[in-house]
């Protein structure tokens, strides 16, 4: 009897929470994600153009240098606490660019730095990005095999 009563109360509480929880403004969130993600990508293109023209690098070399610069900036801004503020406003707009990858590696590492370098930072650094890398690489290998077999 007590368990049935508890289940009914849990359902009532869930209904109450769903009814009173703030509803997200999807249109506003999409616009912010688009704008911030676009600004990050535009800045990355600006960096690429500057590296290519001022350093005289080939397009491919400038692309590689741009990726390094953007990952560094994403990690630096995460370390300074700025990228979290950007992410609160931009949502997915801050996750999709390469700077979001840097953020996903640096954030867990900073969170666990109290536990030491080996067990804290190094052990937790890839807790979020690790599965993404594993599944990304695995799926690209599978797609490559399928493409090879079809083509």
CB under 8 Å to 57, separation ≥6 — which residues?
A: 51, 65
Residue 49 lies in a domain: yes
* Confidence class for position 64, pLDDT limits 50, 70, 90: very high
For the entire predicted model, the pTM comes to 0.65
Confidence label for 16 from pLDDT (cuts 50, 70 and 90): confident
pLDDT at 91: 84
Q: Determine, yes or no, domain membership for 16.
A: no
Residue 13 belongs to a domain: no
Q: What percent of the chain has pLDDT over 70?
A: 79
Give the model's pLDDT for residue 148: 92
What is the Cα–Cα distance from 6 to 9, expressed in whole angstroms? 5
Distance, CA of 128 to CA of 55 (rounded, Å): 35
Using pLDDT thresholds of 50, 70 and 90, give the confidence band for residue 135. confident
Are the C-beta atoms of 87 and 74 separated by less than 8 Å? Answer: no
The DSSP code for 57 is: -
CA distances from 73 to 63, 65, 79 (A): 15, 12, 10
| Residue 79 located in a structural domain | yes
> In this structure, how many other beta carbons lie within 10 angstroms of the beta carbon of residue 30?
13
Q: pLDDT digits over 30-41, tens only? A: 999 999 999 999
Find the domain containing 101 and state its range. Answer: 27-150
> Is residue 11 situated within a structural domain?
no
In a domain, 84, yes or no: yes
State the total domains in the chain. Answer: 1
Q: Is residue 12 part of a domain?
A: no
Residue 52 CA neighbour count, 13 Å, CB half: 15
* Average per-residue pLDDT for the chain: 83
Contact 92, 37 (CB under 8 A): yes
Residue 17 lies in a domain: no
Q: Is residue 101 within 8 Å of residue 129, measured between CB atoms? A: yes
Asked if residue 124 has pLDDT above 90, the reply is no
From the number of C-beta atoms within 10 Å of its C-beta (0-12, 13-18, 19+), residue 67 rates as middle
In a 3-state reduction of DSSP, which class is residue 21?
A: coil
pLDDT band of 129, cuts 50, 70, 90: low
Percent of the chain clearing pLDDT 90 (strictly above): 36
Average pLDDT over every residue of 57-74: 93
């Amino acid at each position: 009897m007590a368990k049935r009563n508890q289940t009914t109360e849990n359902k009532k509480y869930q209904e109450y929470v769903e009814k009173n929880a703030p509803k997200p403004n999807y249109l506003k969130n999409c616009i912010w994600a688009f704008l911030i993600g676009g600004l990050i990508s535009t800045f990355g293109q600006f960096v690429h153009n500057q590296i290519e023209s001022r350093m005289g690098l080939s397009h491919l070399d400038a692309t590689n240098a741009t990726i390094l610069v953007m990952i560094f900036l994403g990690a630096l801004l995460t370390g300074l606490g700025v990228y979290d503020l950007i992410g609160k406003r931009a949502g997915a707009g801050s996750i999709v660019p390469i700077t979001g990858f840097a953020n996903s590696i640096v954030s867990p590492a900073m969170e666990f730095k109290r536990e030491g370098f080996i067990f804290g930072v190094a052990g937790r650094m890839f807790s979020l990005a690790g599965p993404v890398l594993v599944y990304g690489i695995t799926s690209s290998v599978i797609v490559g095999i399928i493409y090879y077999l079809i083509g």
